[in-house]
Amino acid sequence: MKSFNEKVYEKLKKVPKGKVITYKELAKSVKSDAYRAVGNAMKNNEDPVKIPCYKVVCSDGFVGNYSGGGMKKKIKLLRKDGIEVNNNKIDLKKYLFKAQDIM
């Protein structure tokens, strides 16, 4: 039985390079609205190597938090993926990956 976070990881791994997804959309992708639980899954970070958790951002485009060095590290990783980050925020208009796009 896959745990909720396992499913979240699966979806997160399907996010293409150069794109980001919000906690809410990610939760929707697993047929739930538990964006809180999603954040918990990232925090627990069972597979930090296989899970690009840095692609997960807040609904308003704010980068939010990150375990692995802080937001600064997260932003750096995002930029490395070709994503523009302005004032710790991302252009969801350009880089937001929707849950339905995963399906």
The one among 15, 20, 56, 85 contacting DNA by CB under 7 A:
56
Sign of the Cα pseudo-torsion (4, 48, 50, 102, in order): positive
Using CB under 7 A as the binding rule, whether residue 4 contacts DNA is answered as: yes
Count the residues of the shown chain that bind DNA, applying the rule CB under 7 A: 33
H or E element in which residue 10 lies: helix 4-13
In angstroms, the CA 44 to CA 67 distance is 9
Q: Among residues 60 and 91, whose Cβ is nearest to DNA?
A: 60
Sign of the Cα pseudo-torsion (50, 103, 77, 5, in order): negative
State the minimum distance, in angstroms, from the CB of residue 52 to DNA: 9
Catalytic residue among 21, 53, 85, 92: 53
53 assigned to active site = yes
Using CB under 7 A as the binding rule, whether residue 74 contacts DNA is answered as: yes
The strand ranges marked E within the chain are: 21-22, 56-57, 85-86, 89-90
**Which residues in this chain contact DNA in the complex, by CB under 7 A?**
3-5, 22-24, 32-37, 39-45, 48, 53-54, 56, 58-60, 62, 64-68, 74
